[in-house]
Amino acid sequence: MCIRVALADDHELVRACVRTLLAGHGVEVVSEAADGRALIRDVRRHRPDVALVDVSMPMLDGIEATRRLTKAFPSTRVVVLTMHDDRTLACRAASAGAWGYCTKDDTPEQLVDTVERVAAGERCLPSGGAVDDDPLSAREREVLQLIAEGRKNREIAEIMSRSIHTVRGHRARLMGKLGVRSAPELIRAATEQGLLRWPV
């Protein structure tokens, strides 16, 4: 039976290359998304066997997208794809519910093998690694990313389908946790502490 994959990466060229690679091995890419929110909509619509998810995406990064997908659509198994060979990031992906983890330095054959093995029910994650001691909640991470993208409170509230008061509360907690008083300071501190997964 053909493996059906939802592909998410914010670079069109990467998506085209991965789609061609998978098609050459009999794997069907049923949807493509350039951000995490679009990916979730695609999985809801297509219910693929595997979601191949880039970590660094706008609107909603791959780790948070993975967390939501594994809760809402457990039959779709997530393989995280990233340019970062980072043991802590791999641990966070596993904690979010990912079944597989590949870096963009892996060979094409390794990526195809991981997708096939995950589709067959095998977990393909690095062993060991750091404990996921993330100081931010999922919602705080989401707000942090949107702030880093330059979005204002009202726009963030609309994107997240939350009240502006809720967004202000998340922003205040973020600033308190990082000990800063402005958005530029927040972004700088988050970047220095490795808390921003999407490059700004």
How is domain 4-119 classified at the architecture level of CATH? 3-Layer(aba) Sandwich (3.40)
Nearest to 14 by CA among 43, 70, 45, 54: 54
**Is pTM beyond 0.75 here?**
no
Q: Which residues of 4-34 are buried (b: 16+ CB within 10 A; e: fewer)?
A: bbbbbbbeeeebeebbebbeeeebebbbbbb
pLDDT value for 86: 74
| Residue 140 near residue 101 (C-beta atoms within 8 A) | no
- The residues facing 53 across adjacent strands are 8, 80
pLDDT digits (tens, 9 = 90+) for 105-162: 899 999 999 999 999 999 998 865 444 556 788 888 889 999 999 999 999 999 999 9
CATH class of 138-192: mainly alpha
Q: What residues does each domain of the chain span?
A: 4-119, 138-192
Give the CA angle between residues 94, 97, 101 to the nearest 5°: 45
- pLDDT of the residue at 65: 95
**Tokens 């979010």 belong to residue:** 96
Ranges in the chain, pLDDT < 50: 129-131, 200
Q: What is the pLDDT of residue 132?
A: 53
pLDDT confidence of residue 131: 47
